[in-house]
C-alpha cells in the first residue's frame, strides 16, 4: 500500500463531500488525532528555500496554474499500478 496514493485518494474523497456535518466530523477527527499524537506542523523548522517553494506553489495554484487532482491521481496510479 502506497501512503502517497492513499493520501491523494482521501483528498479526492473529501473534495466530493457536500455534507457540511460530515466535513466537520472529519476535521474534528483529524484535529483530535494530531493533538493526541503531539504532532506539530513543522513549518518553523523548514529551511527558507523549502518555505519559498511551498509559497510559490500556493501562488501558482491561486493563479490557476495547478494540475487537476484527477490528472495527478491518474498519473501516479498508472506509475505505481494502484
Phi, psi (rounded to 5 degrees) for 54: -65, -45
pLDDT at 66 over 90: no
- Tell me the whole-structure pTM to 2 decimals: 0.41
What is the per-residue pLDDT across 8-47, written as a single tens digit (0 to 9) for each?
Answer: 999 999 999 999 999 999 999 988 877 665 555 678 788 9
**Do 17 and 78 touch, CB atoms closer than 8 A?**
no
Domain ranges of the chain: 3-80
- State percent of the chain over pLDDT 70: 89
26-51 core/surface letters (b: 16 or more CB in 10 A; e: else)? eeeeeeeeeeeeeeeeeeeeeeeeee
Chain mean pLDDT for the chain: 86
**Do 80 and 2 touch, CB atoms closer than 8 A?**
yes
- Please state the separation of Cα 53 from the chain's center in Å: 16
- In this prediction, residue 13 carries a pLDDT of 93
Amino acid at each position: 500500500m502506497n501512503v502517497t496514493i492513499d493520501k491523494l485518494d482521501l483528498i479526492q474523497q473529501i473534495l466530493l463531500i457536500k455534507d457540511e456535518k460530515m466535513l466537520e466530523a472529519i476535521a474534528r477527527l483529524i484535529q483530535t488525532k494530531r493533538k493526541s499524537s503531539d504532532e506539530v506542523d513543522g513549518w518553523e523548522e523548514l529551511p527558507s528555500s523549502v518555505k519559498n517553494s511551498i509559497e510559490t506553489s500556493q501562488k501558482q495554484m491561486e493563479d490557476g496554474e495547478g494540475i487537476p487532482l484527477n490528472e495527478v491521481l491518474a498519473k501516479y496510479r498508472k506509475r505505481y499500478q494502484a
